[in-house]
Amino acid sequence: MAKSVQALLPLIAAIGFLSFLGFAMCDETLFIEGQVYCDTCRTAFVTKASNLIEGAKVALNCRDRAAGDLTYSLEGVTDSTGSYKLAVEGDHEEEICEIKLISSPREDCNETIPGLDNARVLVTSNNGISELSRFVNSLGFLKKEPLPECHEILRGMGMVPAMIPTSVKEPSA
């Protein structure tokens, strides 16, 4: 019994190696990765007051370049670090793909601005990048009320008062 298993070992090893080779050569799975944050200053960019959202839903949508028809779609949810990782089937080099915010579980931070709720991503392995992950710009849901410290944070980032959204109140004291 033990002897026959021993005799099979080289064969088992060979099968394992071949399937590994097949995996390495034919596998086309790309991972689309990114983060979703709460835009606590309502500025549409990350500040040091931003925080990451767990349980946010995003969708990857790919569309035909000419007609704009949806060709591929996939949804994902962010983990405890606000990150999502979508395993994509096939190559979508000829399509226009974007990640779009779908929903946020945080009632105080679930607003989106049309046009600022999506980010383009190239979903292809034919672009000279051998890594299997493509990273997407962070996308943010807006907090209903900006945090009190936002005025100071935005000034600290070099914004003059005229550039600061009026909803971001200047500290009164």
Write out the residues near ligand NAG by the rule CB under 6 A: 107, 110-111
Choose between 104 and 124: whose C-beta lies nearer to ligand NAG. 104
| Strands 70-77 and 83-88, sheet pairing | unpaired
Q: How far is the CB of 81 from ligand NAG (least distance, A)?
A: 22
Q: What is the DSSP string of 135-171?
A: E---EEEEPSS--TTHHHHHHHTT--GGGS-TTSPPP
Residue nearest to ligand NAG (CB): 110
- Name the DSSP letter for residue 3: H
Q: How far is the CB of 27 from ligand NAG (least distance, A)?
A: 37
For 23, the enclosing helix (H) or strand (E) is helix 2-26
Q: How far is the CB of 82 from ligand NAG (least distance, A)?
A: 18
Q: How far is the CB of 164 from ligand NAG (least distance, A)?
A: 24
Choose between 62 and 142: whose C-beta lies nearer to ligand NAG. 142
Choose between 51 and 110: whose C-beta lies nearer to ligand NAG. 110
Q: How far is the CB of 103 from ligand NAG (least distance, A)?
A: 6
The β-bridge partners of 121 are 97
Count of Cβ atoms closer than 10 Å to residue 89 Cβ: 10
Contact status, residue 74 vs residue 123, Cβ threshold 8 Å: no
Separation of CA 7 from chain center: 48
Residue whose tokens read 């990765």: 33
Choose between 71 and 105: whose C-beta lies nearer to ligand NAG. 105
Choose between 33 and 111: whose C-beta lies nearer to ligand NAG. 111
